[in-house]
């Protein structure tokens, strides 16, 4: 991602943001409200300004619906729990901040001088909330299809960059056991084949077998960590 110099949002900047979003607003005031942080309204008391928190509320709901639909259509065979894990990662503040950073959203947000001096344009909560607010504004201005189109590119990139199996199976040992069961094989057996280093800094080497066959071998700072690493490698090898 290219680094962009932070600068205050300005009327001329709205066109640039629209270009990055791939959407042109009919009602520019909706976009300006989406970009207005509460601190800016407080700093400019007396002016008729509205901050973006109500649009953030709407955007959160729109985001949840659109992401749920995308995840379901892409992975129709996953369980409800697995789909929920993928959705949770997609709509997390950490991930939304990445979406916001990808379009340089921080540089367009209207905020107080004090907030800006303390790095407000890079604060995860501020830019993630603004991203939701912008999505809510797009929905109000152009409908669900327009909002979905704005999300499309970034969600596609998200799916390309993550390991779905890792995301949906935090417990690799359980996932391996289920996989072997589906294949009609025996349960996995884990054993310590080596211990390296002094007691206070020991590394354990674990081998996992099934039906008398070695599936994988991995190391870790604890036996549990090494077992999980071995199970993950075994899943890759099956």
Supply φ then ψ for residue 214, to 5 degrees. -75, 125
Distance CA 67, CA 140 (A): 18
Is residue 60 among the annotated active site residues?
Answer: yes
For residues 186 and 212, is the Cβ–Cβ distance under 8 A? no
Catalytic residue chosen out of the listed positions 16, 18, 43, 60: 60
Is residue 45 among the annotated active site residues?
Answer: no
Element (H, E) at 165: helix 164-168
Supply φ then ψ for residue 111, to 5 degrees. -145, 165
Contacts 24+ apart (CB under 8 A), 188-194: 188/215, 188/231, 188/234, 190/227, 190/230, 192/223, 193/217
- Looking at the DSSP bridge assignments, the partners of residue 133 are none
Return the closest-CA partner of residue 173 out of 221, 203, 208. Answer: 208
Reduced to 3 states, what is the DSSP secondary structure of residue 20?
Answer: helix
Catalytic residue chosen out of the listed positions 56, 115, 132, 141: 132
Distance CA 228, CA 237 (A): 14
Return the closest-CA partner of residue 113 out of 53, 37, 54. Answer: 37
Task: Catalogue the active-site residues.
Answer: 60, 132
């Amino acid at each position: 991602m290219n680094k962009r110099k932070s600068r205050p949002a300005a009327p001329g900047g709205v066109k640039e943001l629209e270009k990055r979003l791939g959407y042109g607003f009919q009602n520019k005031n909706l976009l300006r409200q989406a970009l207005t942080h509460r601190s800016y309204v407080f700093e400019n008391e007396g002016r008729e300004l509205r901050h973006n928190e109500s649009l953030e509320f709407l955007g959160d709901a729109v985001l949840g619906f659109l992401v749920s639909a995308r995840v379901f259509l892409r992975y129709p065979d996953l369980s409800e729990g697995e789909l929920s894990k993928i959705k949770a990662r997609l709509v997390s503040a950490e991930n939304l901040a990445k979406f916001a950073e990808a379009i340089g959203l921080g540089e367009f947000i209207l905020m107080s001088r004090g907030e800006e001096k303390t790095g407000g344009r890079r604060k995860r909560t501020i830019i993630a909330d603004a991203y939701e607010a912008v999505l809510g504004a797009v929905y109000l201005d152009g409908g669900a299809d327009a909002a979905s189109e704005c999300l499309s590119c970034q969600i596609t990139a998200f799916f390309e960059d993550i390991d779905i199996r890792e995301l949906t199976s935090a417990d690799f040992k359980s996932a391996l056991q289920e996989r072997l069961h589906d294949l009609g094989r025996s349960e996995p057996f884990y054993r310590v084949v080596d211990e390296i280093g002094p007691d206070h800094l020991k590394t354990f080497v674990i081998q996992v077998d099934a039906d008398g066959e070695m599936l994988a071998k991995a190391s870790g700072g604890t036996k549990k960590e090494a077992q999980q690493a071995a199970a993950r490698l075994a899943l890759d090898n099956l």
